[in-house]
Chains A and B, each alone.
Chain A
């Protein structure tokens, strides 16, 4: 398969548009001085990535991406931006020191490595539609396998749901539930009292003068 061939495939149009949209709006997000506009560009990036998810047969993930990221995370961002009235950034990119530019250079070096690697070899290494040439290495567990290879089509909610509650992932799921509890309690502790703390009188944790 050559570059020219897949460039003429119909799916290519959707993937190209979504990819360009994702990348361009990510750049806009990073370079806007106005934080609110940055957040809106972030929404655009996330939706474009959700479109890419759909082209990868990950419909459920795409829906969750839009619901959680756009519906919750970005709204939370906007809420805090409004709350703090911290819209504009006084010092911008121009003040970045040499160390910061060096890290940017490292990041772009990494990217170049990818471009070189991605298009240096033969492209058909990993292809859609057909089964992988070599089956992925089997997991050592005997209990699994039949659960995942279910009747449901790949990426359907039932398929994802079964994988979510399979032995491979259920431990991670439980760890995340504990993580959510810890984060929730911690945030409540951090937020509790900020309202009346700003009045004088609470000397908790005052430092030695």
Chain B
């Protein structure tokens, strides 16, 4: 247990975060974009848990617990909005959502 440095976990988290960010930027499906946000939040909680272990400070784990609750909130609100938008437009593609332009 004592031979895996914190850096490894942070690098994995950074990779997940980057993949999530890249997916958010390139995918056009709102549902996939929301999933990418979930991925980014998970990577943050991985950093918190790893840092909690490194600092032997259990508060980091508690924060990870909070982040899981937050992810549920964002998904609930996000999916409600997606359903509402779908009722109006019959599409979940962000490129069709361009009524708001200067």
Chain A residues near B (Cβ < 8 Å):
1, 5-6, 9, 11-12, 15, 19, 22-23, 26-27, 29-30, 35, 38-39, 42, 45-46, 49, 52-53, 55-58, 60-61, 64-65, 68-69, 72-73, 76-77, 80-81, 83-84, 86, 89-93, 95-96, 100-101, 103-104, 107-108, 110-111, 114-115, 118-119, 123-132, 136, 148, 154-155, 159-160, 163-164, 168-169, 172-173, 176, 179-180, 183-184, 186-187, 190-191, 194, 197-198
Q: Smallest CB-CB separation from B57: which chain A residue? A: A136
Report whether over half of chain A's contact residues are helix, strand or loop; otherwise say mixed: helix
Expressed in whole angstroms, the Cα–Cα distance for A118 and B6 within the complex equals: 9
Q: How far is the CB of B19 from chain A (nearest CB, A)?
A: 5
Which chain A positions have C-beta within 8 A of B72? Answer: 68, 72-73
B15/A23 in contact, CB under 8 A:
yes
B55/A80 in contact, CB under 8 A:
no
B71/A69 in contact, CB under 8 A:
yes
Q: How far is the CB of B28 from chain A (nearest CB, A)?
A: 6
Chain B: interface size category: 35 or more
Which chain A positions have C-beta within 8 A of B38? Answer: 42, 69, 73
Which chain B positions have C-beta within 8 A of A84? Answer: 82-83, 86, 92
What number of residue pairs across chains A and B have CB atoms under 8 A from each other? 261
Expressed in whole angstroms, the Cα–Cα distance for A172 and B65 within the complex equals: 11
B23, B32, B64, B66: the one within 8 Å of A35 (CB): B32
A183/B76 in contact, CB under 8 A:
yes
Which chain B positions have C-beta within 8 A of A35? Answer: 29, 31-32
B16, B53, B71: the one within 8 Å of A26 (CB): B16
Expressed in whole angstroms, the Cα–Cα distance for A127 and B8 within the complex equals: 11
Expressed in whole angstroms, the Cα–Cα distance for A107 and B25 within the complex equals: 10
A64/B5 in contact, CB under 8 A:
no
Which chain B positions have C-beta within 8 A of A1? Answer: 3, 5
B64/A39 in contact, CB under 8 A:
no
Which chain A positions have C-beta within 8 A of B32? Answer: 30, 35, 38, 89
